[in-house]
A and B are shown apart, each in its own frame.
Chain A
């Protein structure tokens, strides 16, 4: 039986599934429901400085995009940090932590970018007994206009400076939450590490306009006919998040820095993928907001069964196993040659593979054989691009098969060597490192 217990920078939780700092973690009522449902931890919705709390819009604050049957694929929000009184939040955090000592309670914080503000709030949070803090350097809307959130996360020097204050004025583990709204996420990650952060968490939401109302011409969510960019998340955001996690995991400067993975995690499989790319645990928000807290049952069961099947006893057994396989394009093996193969027994003859190959790619799939509707790959044209696999509605009907060494690639007429050779040594590369041809 797999052991799902998680120890993330010293913060222990019964499983690696935390709820991210967001509406589901804004108050004790929700958080206690989450713990009862089985969530391993929460990052309490971001606290601001003492004084009158922020106010949210009073109209719609969420927007979405859907696939068929209104399955929510992407989600967007213009909500701000907690709009509840600081003292009320602190009291509830303290009570919840006391009642749920085995679950992780991390507190997200966002205060103005000056030392006094951070110095003021850190002891208040520490007094609650919370397990750690997460620095919200990611919120892309509203707060960033006031010089906080993403406005800090986009400037590595500010990131490093604030992290340093937090480590200086607090004994709590510090998780720095990064914004994806930068060109190179490694820069703020390195800065956080230089500032002494215990971990990074990512991604926060992505700048977005989720849709436009074509009657009123207002962006959605619409507030009295106007819209503002919001933060995008949900399943459709996952690939962006996976990439950023992988970049930090394999970066020479940040390699080994603990990562809490966030971004569209909806199933145990999503979670396992983040962890395989280097995340020590994961945080979930959108999936809970779409389906309720019960989804954690599936996540726990699915991850546990997969680990049993693979023989992984603990989470550490597989964390980071995929990050070593993330490389630069220039190192990909150009001697790895694949061809698409259509399983004629599974083929339902929709013809999608043919028409996309014909119209948009390499004219490598026939539509007819002996006068009969028939879809088959022509190896002399197939570049192995995988488009047909992606568009085929039948799972496993088309697969990419690697040509074994010694066979001839009918497209190029060249024998498959079975040896590794990449762009760095390719004769067509004017910057090649060696004059040796790839063959």
Chain B
């Protein structure tokens, strides 16, 4: 236990050094070779495999698992990377229990799907450790494409474009490339600097330049980019944070969960990161879970997640909810923030309205309220596009795209969280970036 263990308010150093290390180690330790063989042997090599159909990037899962079981991990990695060049990160962060592993016939048979995510990690880790590159660029086309955003969508798009022989410049607002992989994912999901290692692995194909600290609308405009390049791909994610619209929101101790997660990822020493003794996280998605769990892991004594609807409506997967509960997070449903209780300019609690559905199915306060005492509140109530679109058509607060990722503006494509469609998953962003690159290539090459 650290010196700050029971300190009221927001304080750093609540834990001992080894506790920090233990709390933020790999959530799922990787499989060793024999474990991988045993797990891979469980795969039935299904025909028209349901797991593959459930994968947004359509990785040939039965084939890569068979390659693992025959001790051909590089072959397995190639099978994975052919469809998903960020297969390493997806192996770590995909909600597999809602995708491939939910579809696994062994889930139907015995409630124990093949651990596809861990097997994917096994193969991709080996290939990346060996620095094995499976793809060679086509002859230079002389075409240049700008990619805005070095997150999963942008990297996947850039890799596929580079593969086709185009030259790519990626612009990213942050100091490091990787997007949410670098800044937006719980630390225990991708420890050891994996996000940067993956950026290096993806760009090793050549033909990709990354310029960090370059912000759309600040350092350049979209029309400028469209003028300088043969095509533009927007994969800039959702940079803005929704506001709570509750009194006291400006008080000291009301913070964005997104910023908290990013600070955690970038912290050189977790003991320097302050955290409340009693923390409330508002929201029901993956970001809320990541913030709540990491608050607990940083030494917060009490962490409560509040969500305005019921368990079934939460965006966080069942697995994530169970993980939070196992780490000691209390999840409360049907509660919406009404007012931040402020004392001396600092958060002292949060007043919440009990919520219910009226007969018409609309969410309404019941009139009853409760107060949870706390010294820190994290907002995880969704993100917004940080640009007005600069002329591209928006829909529902996102950049409108067609099935190939084309926006309303000629020469401009978009994908990932900033674009319509998709489900805000890393793996979906990869698929959209990759598919937009194919569309760009067809357009540029007149195919």
On chain A, the residues within 8 Å of B34 by CB distance are 70
- The minimal Cβ–Cβ distance linking B157 to chain A, given in whole angstroms, is 32
**Out of A67, A69, A351, which one reaches B46, CB within 8 Å?**
A351
Q: Would B48 and A367 count as touching, CB distance under 8 A?
A: yes
**Out of B42, B50, B69, which one reaches A349, CB within 8 Å?**
B50
Q: Flag whether A394 is at the interface (Cβ < 8 A).
A: yes
Q: Which of the four size classes fits the interface of chain A? A: 10 to 19
Q: Flag whether A348 is at the interface (Cβ < 8 A).
A: yes
Give the docked Cα–Cα distance between A379 and B296 (Å). Answer: 61
**Out of B38, B46, B47, B109, which one reaches A394, CB within 8 Å?**
B109
Q: Flag whether B37 is at the interface (Cβ < 8 A).
A: yes
On chain A, the residues within 8 Å of B41 by CB distance are 67-69
Give the docked Cα–Cα distance between A70 and B47 (Å). Answer: 26
- By secondary structure, the B interface counts as helix
Residues of B229-251 contacting chain A, CB below 8 A: none
Q: Flag whether B105 is at the interface (Cβ < 8 A).
A: yes
On chain B, the residues within 8 Å of A70 by CB distance are 34, 37
On chain B, the residues within 8 Å of A2 by CB distance are none
Q: Flag whether A256 is at the interface (Cβ < 8 A).
A: no
Q: Would B69 and A350 count as touching, CB distance under 8 A?
A: no
Q: Would A349 and B105 count as touching, CB distance under 8 A?
A: yes
Q: Flag whether A236 is at the interface (Cβ < 8 A).
A: no
Q: Flag whether B108 is at the interface (Cβ < 8 A).
A: yes
Give the docked Cα–Cα distance between A109 and B390 (Å). Answer: 94
Give the docked Cα–Cα distance between A355 and B47 (Å). Answer: 6
On chain B, the residues within 8 Å of A373 by CB distance are 48, 50
**Interface size, chain B (Cβ < 8 Å):** 17
Q: Flag whether A239 is at the interface (Cβ < 8 A).
A: no
Q: Flag whether A352 is at the interface (Cβ < 8 A).
A: yes
- The minimal Cβ–Cβ distance linking B112 to chain A, given in whole angstroms, is 12
Q: Would B109 and A352 count as touching, CB distance under 8 A?
A: no
Q: Flag whether A393 is at the interface (Cβ < 8 A).
A: yes
On chain A, the residues within 8 Å of B105 by CB distance are 348-350
- The minimal Cβ–Cβ distance linking B65 to chain A, given in whole angstroms, is 12
Q: Flag whether A187 is at the interface (Cβ < 8 A).
A: no
On chain B, the residues within 8 Å of A69 by CB distance are 37-38, 41
Q: Flag whether A190 is at the interface (Cβ < 8 A).
A: no
**Out of B42, B47, B48, B106, which one reaches A348, CB within 8 Å?**
B106
Q: Flag whether A354 is at the interface (Cβ < 8 A).
A: yes
Closest to B40 in A: A68
- By secondary structure, the A interface counts as mixed
On chain A, the residues within 8 Å of B49 by CB distance are 351
Q: Return the CB mask of A345-371 against B: 1 if under 8 Å, else 0.
A: 000111110110000000000010000
On chain A, the residues within 8 Å of B319 by CB distance are none
Give the docked Cα–Cα distance between A393 and B69 (Å). Answer: 18
Q: Flag whether B44 is at the interface (Cβ < 8 A).
A: yes
**Out of B38, B42, B44, which one reaches A352, CB within 8 Å?**
B44
Q: Flag whether B45 is at the interface (Cβ < 8 A).
A: yes
Residues of A15-72 contacting chain B, CB below 8 A: 67-70
Q: Would B106 and A354 count as touching, CB distance under 8 A?
A: no
Give the docked Cα–Cα distance between A67 and B42 (Å). Answer: 12
Closest to A355 in B: B47
Give the docked Cα–Cα distance between A334 and B47 (Å). Answer: 33
Residues of A63-99 contacting chain B, CB below 8 A: 67-70
Q: Return the CB mask of A401-432 against B: 1 if under 8 Å, else 0.
A: 00000000000000000000000000000000
Q: Would B37 and A68 count as touching, CB distance under 8 A?
A: yes
Q: Return the CB mask of B24-65 against A: 1 if under 8 Å, else 0.
A: 000000000010011001101111111000000000000000
On chain A, the residues within 8 Å of B38 by CB distance are 68-69
**Out of A68, A351, A393, which one reaches B47, CB within 8 Å?**
A351
- The minimal Cβ–Cβ distance linking A388 to chain B, given in whole angstroms, is 12
Tell me which of B38, B41, B47 has the highest count of chain A C-beta atoms within 10 A of its own C-beta.
B47
Residues of B154-175 contacting chain A, CB below 8 A: none
Closest to A67 in B: B41
On chain B, the residues within 8 Å of A367 by CB distance are 47-48
On chain B, the residues within 8 Å of A393 by CB distance are 44, 109
Q: Return the CB mask of A373-412 against B: 1 if under 8 Å, else 0.
A: 1000000000000000000011000000000000000000
Q: Would B37 and A350 count as touching, CB distance under 8 A?
A: no
Q: Would B109 and A348 count as touching, CB distance under 8 A?
A: yes
Give the docked Cα–Cα distance between A264 and B144 (Å). Answer: 66
Tell me which of A351, A352, A354 has the highest count of chain B C-beta atoms within 10 A of its own C-beta.
A351
Q: List 21 A-B contacts (CB under 8 A).
A: A68-B37, A68-B38, A68-B69, A69-B38, A348-B105, A348-B108, A348-B109, A349-B46, A349-B105, A349-B108, A350-B44, A350-B47, A351-B49, A352-B47, A354-B47, A355-B47, A355-B48, A367-B48, A373-B48, A393-B109, A394-B109
| Residues of A bordering B, CB below 8 Å | 67-70, 348-352, 354-355, 367, 373, 393-394
